[in-house]
Amino acid sequence: MAVVFIRLALQFAMKILVCTAKEQEGWRAALADQLPEANIYVGHDAPSCDYAVVWKPPDNIFDSQRSLKALFSLGAGVNRLLAYPSLPQDLPLVRMEDCGMAAQMVEYALYVALRHYRRMPFYEQAQLNGHWSPQPLRLRSEFHISVLGLGVLGGSVARALADFGFTVSGWSRSPKSLPGVRCGHGISELEAILSGSHAVFLLLPLTSETAGLINRRRLEQLPIGSVVANLSRGEVVDDGALLSALDGWRVAEAHLDVFEHEPLAPGHPYWTHPRVSLTPHIAALTPYQVAAGQVAEKIRRLQAGDKVSGVVDRARGY
């Protein structure tokens, strides 16, 4: 009797699939801890599940997972998942919201901003040339930064840079208001924002509107000697245009964390460009210890028939 009861309980328990190349076991254990009533499966060889938590799953995952009530992306960006031809149109896709990523983005942005505001590249070069060459004081408020994308991550970055005393402009799709940040929105306001920026931070999702947004014309709006930091998706920047802007010193230094093709191909000019600093898509990693709590809470709400935040608007693409 007890065996039958256990079999029935297992059969009717909620089923969650975890499918990610990285930290799969950590995710499984963290979700099991948060949702002890659920059966958690890892890898793509699982029975039909109620929820799936994925990052770069196999292309055919939706052929075997036909009963999903919601799909959770392990990342904040969902452009890759949205491109799966077999992704069911009506399946709610839920993305990560912050989960410890905003603090990491702020660290990265502060590092880049401080390096340039304090003219460290200039002093590095002066040292190489054996020059003792003190430069005039610049006030924090005289260093102008723009943050393109004012969502969960970009909004945190813009506020942190403004709190630090830099002059910050932000740009989004719809009107926004953030303390200490001059906010603009829509394509008509982009060029004015760029033209006053010593440093530009990209924190936009990749959509049909943002692909190739930072092209030759937009880079030409920047003052000579600006800094570009792409922390969003490689495709937001036109690589050829950025390399030309670097060679012409319109852009003095580029900090690139993301690329159209990852890992970046051996021999790509970014690898060896003296004024490109690149990192392997680590600007903000998803800590599963925190993120599993967010996923579990949303699953509980969905099970109770409640709405959750972070559901991707398929028409907008983010």
The residues annotated as belonging to the active site are 233, 281
Yes or no: say if 226 and 248 are a contact pair by the CB < 8 Å rule: no
- Determine which residue in the list 35, 53, 76, 228 makes contact with ligand OXD, applying CB under 6 A: 76
* Position closest to ligand NDP via CB: 151
Looking at beta carbons only, is 88 or 280 nearer to ligand OXD?
280
Q: Which does 149 bind (CB under 5 to 8 A by kind): ligand OXD, ligand NDP, none?
A: ligand NDP
Per CB under 6 A, contacts with ligand NDP among 215-274 are 231-233, 257-258
Q: Is 112 in the site for ligand NDP (CB under 6 A)?
A: no
Q: Is 194 in the site for ligand NDP (CB under 6 A)?
A: no
Exposed, middle or buried: residue 155 (CB in 10 Å: 0-12, 13-18, 19+)?
buried
Q: Is 281 in the site for ligand NDP (CB under 6 A)?
A: yes
Q: Is 157 in the site for ligand OXD (CB under 6 A)?
A: no
Looking at beta carbons only, is 231 or 242 nearer to ligand NDP?
231
How many CA within 13 A on the CB side of residue 54?
Answer: 25
Distance CA 292, CA 299 (A): 10
Integer angstrom CA distances of residue 254 from 82, 111, 276, 300: 28, 13, 5, 43
Q: Is 77 in the site for ligand NDP (CB under 6 A)?
A: yes
Distance CA 18, CA 231 (A): 26
Nearest-approach distance from CB 77 to ligand OXD, in angstroms: 3
Yes or no: say if 246 and 276 are a contact pair by the CB < 8 Å rule: yes
Q: Is 76 in the site for ligand NDP (CB under 6 A)?
A: yes
Residues 134-153, mask of contacts with ligand OXD (x by CB under 6 A): --------------------
| Number of residues engaging ligand OXD in binding (CB under 6 A) | 5
- Determine which residue in the list 77, 154, 155, 184 makes contact with ligand OXD, applying CB under 6 A: 77
Contact region with ligand OXD (CB under 6 A), list: 56-64, 73-81, 176-184, 209-217: 73-81
- Determine which residue in the list 57, 75, 151, 310 makes contact with ligand OXD, applying CB under 6 A: 75
Nearest-approach distance from CB 278 to ligand NDP, in angstroms: 12
- Determine which residue in the list 20, 197, 230, 286 makes contact with ligand OXD, applying CB under 6 A: 286
- Determine which residue in the list 35, 55, 149, 255 makes contact with ligand NDP, applying CB under 6 A: 149
Q: Is 174 in the site for ligand NDP (CB under 6 A)?
A: yes
- Determine which residue in the list 219, 245, 284, 299 makes contact with ligand NDP, applying CB under 6 A: 284
Binding site for ligand NDP (CB under 6 A): 75-77, 101, 149-154, 171-174, 176, 203-207, 209-210, 231-233, 257-258, 281, 283-284, 318
Binding site for ligand OXD (CB under 6 A): 75-77, 96, 286
